[in-house]
């Protein structure tokens, strides 16, 4: 969390930044995946992405032109949603994509943890 603040939100205090997220379990705004579930995916598949990106949630600006210090405009996004949404899709449009990605995560992770049917060929 502190890494993200240093990297993106240095113009507000860390306390302000943390307070905005303290009561939330960090999860992807679009597909809902949590940090813990991302770790499970990596445990299942140690080479999940090229160059190892995607291990942590990223900060996403809903309106891409706003500053990172506008906390109301910030959400977490997983690497996969962030990468696919780019600046091309609106939040509303991408929520539909996120719902499908969520289904896939649930298939892979199972509702209660690891799913043994995780595809071997990926
Ligand atoms: Zn996501």
Residue with tokens 């210090």: 69
Domain that holds residue 91: 2-109
Instruction: Count the neighbouring beta carbons within 10 Å of the beta carbon of residue 82.
Output: 19
Distance 80 CA to ligand 1 centre (A): 6
Residue with tokens 């940090």: 35
- Residue 11 maps to a domain: yes
Instruction: Say if residues 74 and 61 touch (Cβ distance below 8 Å).
Output: yes
- Residue 116 maps to a domain: no
- Residue 61 maps to a domain: yes
Sign of the dihedral defined by the CA atoms of residues 17, 20, 22, 28, in that order:
negative
The CATH number assigned to the domain holding 34 equals 3.30.40.220
**Domain count within the chain:** 1
Distance 64 CA to ligand 1 centre (A): 17
Q: What is the pLDDT of residues 34-91, one digit of tens each?
A: 999 999 999 988 888 888 889 988 888 888 788 877 888 888 999 999 999 998 999 9
pTM more than 0.95: no
- Residue 73 maps to a domain: yes
Distance 10 CA to ligand 1 centre (A): 25
């Amino acid at each position: 969390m502190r890494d993200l603040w240093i990297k993106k939100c240095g113009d507000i205090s860390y306390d302000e930044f943390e307070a905005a997220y303290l009561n939330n379990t960090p999860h992807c705004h679009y597909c809902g995946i949590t940090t813990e579930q991302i770790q499970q995916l990596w445990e299942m598949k140690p080479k999940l992405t090229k160059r190892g990106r995607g291990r942590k949630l990223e900060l996403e600006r809903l309106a891409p032109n706003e500053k990172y210090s506008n906390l109301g405009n910030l959400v977490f996004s997983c690497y996969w949603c962030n990468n696919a949404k780019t600046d091309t899709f609106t939040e509303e449009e991408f929520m539909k994509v996120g719902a499908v990605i969520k289904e896939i995560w649930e298939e892979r992770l199972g509702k209660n943890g690891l799913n043994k049917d995780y595809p071997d060929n990926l």
